[in-house]
Structure 1
Amino acid sequence: MTVRTPIRTRFAPSPTGYLHVGGARTALFSWAYARHFGGQFILRIEDTDLERSTPEAVQAIIDGMNWLGLQHDEGPFYQMQRMDRYREVIAQMLADGSAYHCYCTPEEVEAMRERQRAIGEKPRYDGTWRPEEGKTLPAIPEGRKPVVRFRNPVDGEVTWDDVVKGTITIANREMDDLIIARSDGTPTYNFCVAIDDWDMKITHVIRGDDHVNNTPRQINILRALGAELPQYGHLPMIHGTDGQKLSKRHGAVSVMDYPAQGYLPEAMLNYLARLGWSHGDDEIFSIEQFVQWFDLDHLTKSPAQFNFEKFDWLNNHYIKQADNGRLADLARPLMTEHGAQFDGAPELQAVIALMKDRFNTVNELAVAAMLFYRQPAPDAALLAQHVTDAVKPALAQFATQLQSIEWNKDAVSAALKETLAAHKLKMPQLAMPLRLLITGQLQTPSIDAVIALFDRNVVQARMQKYL
């Protein structure tokens, strides 16, 4: 199939819930393909399911796209705002015979399906109201409003070269005459999607493989209208490590759960890019590199597996690379919730710089950084164990030295070594009680770096309280 230009892709979620991880990957691949070729990426909100679509879900989708930085070039377009266009096309199809009115009730259609199941046939609409040459149609029931059905071809096949799955062929006899407008006049999903893709000149439809069965129906509608067909690509599902479809039991599924849990968007983009696509052995790459490399030839046919341990490792990498001021801005609200006292405390950016290499999420980093922003409350049993009579003289000497040294890590380190040598102690014998007295806990980064971040007077006051 010849590739149409300019490239125009779309992301078309239904606003019946949050933006999930699979949808975010679809959006990323569609966006990257358009960016790779200098084309356009369109955002379309498929909101014809009035019972389930909500403004909150629309906002959640847009928030997720914005967090990931997947900016659209056109839209968002809303299907409910295009009703006049859909009705215009339906009227055209009724006039040219590619669609017709059907007066069967849902109960009557279900009854015909039951009869077909009973004799081992595939359940389907049997064409009662389909106009055929020489066929006499039933009398129109009084007061009954019809649906509109698409006149699907009865012979031949629908074949397309799927950019992920390869050639797919489905016989027309496997499909019945799809309802394209309900009895109240509202158009149905597959019809709206086909018309939108046509009107918006979409060249590539990249979506999940749960849409494979919709594709031949949409192709037949587009062909009936004389429209040019896009290329289709259906991405396999994303599974958890247990091989089952990713769901809430595996952890966060909504994209916006991830920033709330302390993940960075660049980590999510990098990780999603590797779910079903590869560039050699490259694991870590920027979004700019991804756009430069991305094509449809290296999409995999098998389901991808979301491994949270690997995602944590990747997020840790991006935390290490991230600007300390940015991380501080992300951590500060959570620390405030935990009662952090920032007045008179070390500069948060400096604390972030000292600690960020150790943690997989910003939330973990924020919780750990609290040791600098709360009053220490060392456990009495730990104090008795570590602040012994044998070590108190060394602590007292070190406290005296802190009064006159330059206030930086190197000077603190030198004072520590001098005290250790004078009292013939090993580092843990002095570092552990210092940690307890100054921070209230035994686990911290290097004690000289920790001490240097605190104000000199704060350190001395906390030591003297127990000496």
Structure 2
Amino acid sequence: MTVVTRFAPSPTGYLHVGGARTALYSWLVAKAAGGEFVLRIEDTDRERSTQPAIDAILEGMNWLGLSWDQGPYYQTKRFDRYTHFIDTLLDEDKAYKCYCSTERLEKMREEQMERGEKPRYDGHCRDNPNVGGERYVVRFRNPQSGSVKFNDHIRGPIEFANTELDDLIICRSDGTPTYNFCVVIDDWEMGISHVVRGEDHINNTPRQINILQALGAPVPEYAHVSMILGDDGKKLSKRHGAVSVMQYRDDGYLPQAVLNYLVRLGWSHGDQEIFSVDEMVQHFRLDDVNKAASAFNTEKLNWLNQHYMKELPATEVAEHLQWHFSDQAIDVSNGPELEKIIPLLADRVKTLKEMASSARYFFEEFESFDETAAKKHLRPVARQALETVQSRLASLDEWNAATIQAAIQGTADELGVGMGKVGMPLRVAATGSGNSPSLDVTLELLAQKQVVGRISRAISFIIEREQAQQ
């Protein structure tokens, strides 16, 4: 059997975290079996489906690297196929026209609920030849006995009695097919072998299986993944902040970190925490997915993100980092190569957004010194150290970490002070703050003339401070 899986989002909003995890699991099932992964846009809800939402889904899938082998297919472009099979079921008396008014249906449901019954269609038009009218829906003639059984890869054996399932509407009164019917036809015609989707679809599965069997179509295998909870233990929602996949991009996370985090939200392979995509494909099995809800842990995601910032090739990280410099309106054309600053900062920040922000001094002049750092380190007592180290740095014939370090050490030796008495004022002068990577490698990535000029600015700051205190 050729394994074919699908991800079938409704384009009513962004690609959220739960959907991305479902897409990843479905993608992995296909890739592990050498099969195919289908992307299908389920846009039959014309009022809520939008092109921006479609674009957001495609952008999210591309950012995560979840490429599809077929598609994207759009249900709104397949109405002729759905209509064909609705007509087939009507011709074979496996579906029927229902003329019940909205008023009758509402009254029926109210009475059922008053009696404590589960609201369901009572079959009034199922075998009644005396009903008719201009407006009607088409209902599937669901079996009235027996049960639907399927073995869920995550939840094990599941069974629904057919008496619990009413006659589902498969075509609305305006002639448009309904979600549950479109899904059945699509899964059949696209050869879907494994359906991986959220647990909220469990109740749809027996209805879809019955329709598949009525059409003489093969029934795929099913796996229903559990919901994702937020850090507070409640269902993940907008109140938790970044629930859109692209929001994680905006917040400075690498797609590799997000993928690694998502695959572990409900699945494990021993004690392993770090998984490359190849390792995910090699080890992932649907039967190993936990049926319990998974709790989101932002700190864990931060840890993974920092790992990938440090361990991925700097050129790969730089491609994503560039986006954040652009987003923060930082022009990196006049400064060091991004690949060179990544190793310096990866240990010091959790996200690429932080990295871009903290690296601003490499590419543009800062407006002012950090107030706390300047108050502590740009004092009159630091003036001599700055003047001496400035002279030494300005006279260097070679500008590299070794010669810079030697100039700093030589200044400390000459003045008979500790390295901190030279290094900290120099750090504030050159970077604008009291925090930076090792000073020698930091200054190496700045231009010699630039560093000397920034020291002059710091000395002027100290002189002005001295004069103000007189």
TM-score by length of 1: 0.93
Amino acid at match of 1:28: L
Name the structure 2 match of 1:302: 292
Match of 1:219 among 209, 212, 217: 209
Name the structure 1 match of 2:385: 394
Contact 2:7 2:39 in 1 (8 A): yes
Name the structure 2 match of 1:20: 16
Match of 1:322 among 312, 322, 327: 312
Q: Which runs of 5+ in 2 are unaligned?
A: 460-470
Name the structure 1 match of 2:31: 35
Matches of residues 395-434 of structure 1 in structure 2 within 5 Å? 395-405=386-396, 406-434=398-426
Q: Per the alignment, in what secondary structure is the counterpart of residue 109 of structure 2?
A: helix
Q: Per the alignment, in what secondary structure is the counterpart of residue 31 of structure 2?
A: helix
What is the rounded CA distance, in whole Å, between the counterparts of 1:304 and 1:381 in structure 2? 42
Q: Per the alignment, in what secondary structure is the counterpart of residue 77 of structure 1?
A: strand
1:182 aligns with 2:172: yes
**Aligned-pair distance for 1:446?**
1.4
Name the structure 1 match of 2:264: 274
Could you list the per-position Cα deviations for residues 264-306 of structure 1 after superposition, in whole angstroms to 9, with x for gaps in the alignment?
1111111111011111111001001100111122110101111
Matches of residues 142-157 of structure 1 in structure 2 within 5 Å? 144-157=134-147
Name the structure 2 match of 1:454: 446
**Aligned-pair distance for 1:335?**
3.2
Q: Per the alignment, in what secondary structure is the counterpart of residue 357 of structure 1?
A: coil
Name the structure 2 match of 1:359: 349
Q: Per the alignment, in what secondary structure is the counterpart of residue 233 of structure 2?
A: coil
Amino acid at match of 1:415: A
Amino acid at match of 1:49: D
Contact 1:128 1:137 in 2 (8 A): no
Could you list the per-position Cα deviations for residues 417-449 of structure 1 after superposition, in whole angstroms to 9, with x for gaps in the alignment?
222122221222212211222222111111222
Task: Report the more deviating stretch, 421-430 or 330-339.
Answer: 330-339
**In the superposition, relative to structure 1, how do residues 385 and 184 fare at CA in structure 2: closer, same or farther (>3 Å)?**
closer
Match of 1:74 among 70, 74, 85: 70
Could you list the per-position Cα deviations for residues 28-66 of structure 1 after superposition, in whole angstroms to 9, with x for gaps in the alignment?
111111110111111111111111111111111111111
Q: Per the alignment, in what secondary structure is the counterpart of residue 321 of structure 2?
A: helix
What is the rounded CA distance, in whole Å, between the counterparts of 2:374 and 2:250 in structure 1? 36
Name the structure 1 match of 2:43: 47
**In the superposition, relative to structure 1, how do residues 211 and 466 fare at CA in structure 2: closer, same or farther (>3 Å)?**
closer
Name the structure 1 match of 2:185: 195
Contact 2:6 2:40 in 1 (8 A): yes
Q: Per the alignment, in what secondary structure is the counterpart of residue 358 of structure 1?
A: coil
Name the structure 2 match of 1:239: 229
Contact 2:144 2:163 in 1 (8 A): yes
Task: Report the more deviating stretch, 224-233 or 441-450.
Answer: 441-450
Task: Report the more deviating stretch, 316-325 or 298-307.
Answer: 316-325
Name the structure 2 match of 1:112: 108
Amino acid at match of 1:312: N
1:289 aligns with 2:279: yes
What is the rounded CA distance, in whole Å, between the counterparts of 2:253 and 2:72 in structure 1? 26
Amino acid at match of 2:137: V
Runs of 4+ residues deviating >4 angstroms: 336-339, 341-344, 379-385
**In the superposition, relative to structure 1, how do residues 443 and 33 fare at CA in structure 2: closer, same or farther (>3 Å)?**
same
1:349 aligns with 2:345: no
Name the structure 2 match of 1:96: 92
Amino acid at match of 1:73: D
